[in-house]
Each structure stands twice: as C-alpha cells, then as structure tokens.
C-alpha cells in the first residue's frame, strides 16, 4: 500500500533546482545516449531529490526498475531522468502519491492502458485549472489590499505635506507680525525720544524769569 508521506529523512523537493528544470524543458541530457550511466549521487545533484527519496521511489513502484552495475550499484539512464522530470511535474500538480504510482503501473503495462492514463491526467488537469482559478482570486484580493495600503500611504503623505506647508506659512506670518510690531514700537519710542529732546531744548532757550 502506498502512503501519502515521503520518507522523513528525505523530503522531496517541490521545486527542482535549475539544472533539472532546464533538462525537462529542453529535452537535453548531461550525457549522450550510450554514455548515460549516472550514479545515484549524480541523479540527486541533477534533480534536487535525496538519494533516500530516489530509493523510496523505486521501492514503492513509482520509479521503474533501475539498472545495476556489476557491483550492485544503481546506474540511472537518460530515460530515468526524463521519468523523474515527469514525476516532478506531477507532484507540482498536487497529484497524490498513490495516483502517481498507479500512473507508473499503467505506463509499465503498455499501450492498452492509454485510455486509463488519459482519464487520470484529465482529472489532474481539472484539479490544476481549479487551483489556478483559486490562486487568481487570491491574487486579486492581495492586489486590492496592496492598492488600498498604497493609496492610504499616499494620502497620509499628502496630508503631512499639507500640514507642513501650513505650519511653515503660519510661522512666516507670525514672524512678519512680530517684526511689524517691533518696527512700530521702535518708531514710537524714537518719536517719544525726539519729542523729549525737543522739549528740553525749548526749556533751555526760554529766558529766565526774575
């Protein structure tokens, strides 16, 4: 029986690293046919999967039989790399492990399973489309929230700038008022001094009375 969990000590990477992604997209391989004898550590480096996970794939029937060297070590081929690339894509769709193992068994049984394989992949495709729709709705909500906070930040900045401008104008007006009052007070004081000095002069010039 296949369970949904992967080996605890060997989690499967949900997003394979760049070398494996490029491999599956371009169809090219690190080595040409006839020289494609990869060790398990090399395949782990190419795929981002741990060696323990690769062994687990083989044990549960998700990985086809892997050739062995004369010393009993696994030797993977380009065909094995292509299969692992497909498995990685199926995992990204959210396909349960049990369904992936069933698909692997159908492939090994031959061409008479084409219809069963097609039905399995069509069901997975429907699930992917539904997930995409959910993600698009989620993205729309996030965009709405981000736009709200961006507008709020702009409004806050505008209000702060308006307040700063008003404060600057008030400060300038206050300074002008103080300067005007100081000027007026100075002029009044100067006028009073001049009047006092004129009175003193007039008093000295007046003839003394006997």
| Concatenated DSSP letters of 153-168 | HHHHHHHHHHHHHHHH
Return the number of other C-beta atoms located less than 10 Å from residue 21's C-beta. Answer: 15
Of the candidates 129, 39, 136, the one whose C-alpha atom is nearest the C-alpha of residue 81 is 39
Distance of alpha carbon 197 from its chain centroid, rounded? Answer: 84
Quickly state the pLDDT bin for 15 (edges 50, 70, 90). very low
Average pLDDT along the chain: 79
Confidence of residue 33 (pLDDT cuts 50, 70, 90): confident
Q: What are the tokens at 20? A: 């494996």
Answer whether residue 195 is part of any domain.
no
Burial of 165 from C-beta contacts in 10 A (0-12 / 13-18 / 19+): exposed
Is 87 among the domain residues?
Answer: yes
In a domain, 174, yes or no: no
Does residue 24 form part of some domain? yes
139 by DSSP, 3-state: which?
helix
- Neighbouring C-beta atoms of residue 159, cutoff 10 Å: 10
Query: In the chain, what is the straight-line distance between the N-terminal and C-terminal CA atoms, in Å?
Result: 143
How far apart CA 191 and CA 31 sit, in angstroms, is 106
Q: What is the mean pLDDT of residues 56-79?
A: 92
The predicted pLDDT at position 65 comes to: 84
Better pLDDT: 62 or 35: 62
86, 120 contact by CB (below 8 A)? no
Structural domains of the chain, count = 1
Give the model's pLDDT for residue 64: 84
Asked, for residue 92, whether it belongs to a domain, the answer is yes
User: CA angle 95-40-120, nearest 5°?
Assistant: 20
Tell me what pLDDT residue 168 has.
65
Residue 64 lies in a domain: yes
Q: What is the pLDDT of residue 31?
A: 87
Structural element, H or E, at residue 68? strand 67-68
Which pTM was predicted? 0.61
Question: What does the pLDDT read at residue 191?
Answer: 60
Q: Are the C-beta atoms of 1 and 59 separated by less than 8 Å? A: no
The number of residues in the chain equals 210
Question: Quick check: is 22 in a domain?
Answer: yes
Burial class (CB in 10 A: 0-12, 13-18, 19+), 84: buried
Q: Which domain holds residue 59?
A: 18-109
CATH number assigned to the domain comprising residue 49: 1.10.1660.10
In a domain, 190, yes or no: no
């Amino acid at each position: 029986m296949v369970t949904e969990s992967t080996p605890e000590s060997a989690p499967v990477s949900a997003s394979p690293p760049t070398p494996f992604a490029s491999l599956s997209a371009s169809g090219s391989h690190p080595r040409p046919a006839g020289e494609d004898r990869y060790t398990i550590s090399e395949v782990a480096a190419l795929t981002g999967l741990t060696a323990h996970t690769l062994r687990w794939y083989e044990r549960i029937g998700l990985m086809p039989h892997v050739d062995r060297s004369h010393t009993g070590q696994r030797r993977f081929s380009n065909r094995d790399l292509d299969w692992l690339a497909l498995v990685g894509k199926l995992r990204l769709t959210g396909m349960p492990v049990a369904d992936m193992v069933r698909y692997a068994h159908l492939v090994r049984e031959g061409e008479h399973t084409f219809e069963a394989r097609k039905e399995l992949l069509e069901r997975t495709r429907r699930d992917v489309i539904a997930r995409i729709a959910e993600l698009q709705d989620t993205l729309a909500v996030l965009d709405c929230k981000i736009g709200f906070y961006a507008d709020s930040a702009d409004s806050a900045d505008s209000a702060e700038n308006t307040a700063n401008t008003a404060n600057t104008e008030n400060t300038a007006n206050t300074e002008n008022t103080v300067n005007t009052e100081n000027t007026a007070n100075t002029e009044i004081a100067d006028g009073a001094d001049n009047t006092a000095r004129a009175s003193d002069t007039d008093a000295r010039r007046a003839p003394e009375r006997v």
